[in-house]
Amino acid sequence: METKLFDQDHIAEAAAVLAKGGLVAFPTETVYGLGASALLPDAVAQVYQVKGRPSDNPLIVHVAAAEQVAAFVDNLSPMAKQLMDTFWPGPLTLIFKIKPDSLPSIVTGGLTTAAFRMPDHPQTLALISQAQQPLVGPSANTSGKPSPTSAAHVWHDLHGKIAGILDGGATRIGVESTVLDLSDPSGTPIILRPGAIAKEQLETVLETEVLLDKHLVSAGEVPKAPGMKYKHYAPNTKVMMVHDTDWPAAINWAQANHFKVGVLAGPTIAEAVRKETAAIYQYFDDSPEAAARGLFAGLRALDESTAALDLLLAATFTEAGIGAAYMNRLKKAANHEYFQENK
């Protein structure tokens, strides 16, 4: 299959491909999504096949306007409307109980709930509008690997497997959206996946408690939202997390074991360890925002480095704000393994 690169001037052509059941990757402010019509089961089945994604992993439905959600959800609560008014378009996914048979079961993973998001990217909003149907949009990569934050990343993983890629440049945030479960109208809202919209922001808007579910699903359990599996976002090269105070010991340990090491970190740590490492992916600055934006690109770049690395060491951040989203992804990429000095 030939994979075509679409630009701003060819959105209508990309939309026509989607309307006919083809697959087109699209940019968002978070990561690139692999688009297919959410109303065409055969198209959605192709998404699972192309990604190598487990079929019990539900998909997020992307809409171009909040009003589109009403076709699938009865009686949106005042809380839901408030969140949509405040954060849409933006990196917030909301899970609702849906009308029976309003979406193909292949989209929902067989659940009675579905996740919805309105992405904050003008090209993709135009794409959804011109396709005249909502789109599923899981990350446009091989399942389980680092998510794509540029059209080049999508091309690397999926060229020859999908009809096209809408090139919208590098993504602005770099980690997937916050997923908030509102499927129980009488219950407390629960974050199933942290993202750029933090727990504190949601609580400020809602003026009520928001819970954070740290539960990771087992192999035989159906996840309610994407990204809840134990190991995810992982490159082929082993990843290990390093606390700020442990870098000298971690570098000494790696040298003693003759490991060729790559490092993902901000400028302060990168400069301190540069002479002792084989390759470095340096975040723009020392902030968690820069780390989140660069994490997936960094994992990909070091994994594919000509230095043939044995190990990737990654900087950690406090789990607050977008730092919580960064650490959520990094922990899964590292299979929850930290460097320990007595290793």
3-class DSSP assignment, residue 318: coil
In this structure, which amino acid lies at residue 37? S
Output the pTM of the full model: 0.93
Give me the pLDDT at residue 32, please. Answer: 98
Assess whether 194 and 249 both reside in one domain: no
Distance in angstroms (rounded) separating the CA atoms of residues 115 and 232 = 20
Q: Containing domain of residue 137, as a range? A: 4-212
Q: What's the pLDDT score for residue 232?
A: 78
Could you list the beta-strand ranges (E) of 108-249: 113-117, 135-136, 164-166, 178-181, 190-193, 211-212, 238-242
Q: What is the reported pLDDT for 123?
A: 98
In a domain, 222, yes or no: no
Whether 169 and 255 share a structural domain: no
Q: Do residues 29 and 162 both lie within one domain?
A: yes
**Is 233 annotated for ligand binding?**
yes
User: What CATH number corresponds to the domain at position 266?
Assistant: 3.40.50.11030
Q: Specify the pairing of strand 135-136 against strand 60-62.
A: antiparallel
Is 204 among the annotated ligand-binding positions? no
- Centroid of chain to Cα 131: 23
* The two three-digit tokens of residue 2, written as one number: 């030939």
> Is residue 285 situated within a structural domain?
yes
Is 274 annotated for ligand binding?
Answer: no
Backbone angles phi, psi at 130, to 5 degrees: -75, -25
**Residue 183 falls within a domain, yes or no?**
yes
User: Which residue's entry shows tokens 């933090």?
Assistant: 198
Residue 147 labelled as part of a binding site = yes
Is 172 known to sit in a ligand binding site?
no
Residue 286 forms part of a structural domain: yes
Looking up residue 55, the CATH number of its domain turns out to be 3.90.870.10
| 129 annotated ligand-binding residue | no
Same domain, yes or no, for 147 and 108? yes
At 223 the pLDDT is 62
260 shares a domain with 161: no
Q: Based on the fold, state whether residues 185 and 85 are members of the same structural domain.
A: yes
- According to the annotation, is 300 in a ligand binding site? no
pLDDT in tens, the chain (343 residues): 899 999 999 999 999 999 999 999 999 999 999 999 999 999 999 999 999 887 778 899 999 999 999 999 998 999 999 999 999 999 999 999 999 999 999 999 999 999 999 999 999 999 999 999 999 999 999 988 999 999 999 999 999 999 999 999 999 999 999 999 999 988 899 999 999 999 999 999 999 999 998 765 555 556 666 655 555 789 999 999 999 999 999 999 999 999 999 999 999 999 999 999 999 999 999 999 999 999 999 999 999 999 899 999 999 999 999 999 999 999 999 999 999 977 5
| Residue 62 among known ligand-binding residues | yes
With tokens 């079929």, the residue in question is: 55
CA distances from 254 to 201, 250, 272, 276, 308 (A): 40, 6, 15, 9, 15
What per-residue confidence (pLDDT) applies to 233?
Answer: 87
Give yes or no: residues 191 and 276 share one domain: no
Q: Is residue 272 part of a domain?
A: yes
Known binding residue 113? Answer is: yes
Please check whether residues 63 and 187 belong to one and the same domain. Answer: yes
So what's the pLDDT on residue 229?
52
The answer to whether residue 322 is domain-embedded is yes
- Residue 148 is assigned to a structural domain of this protein: yes
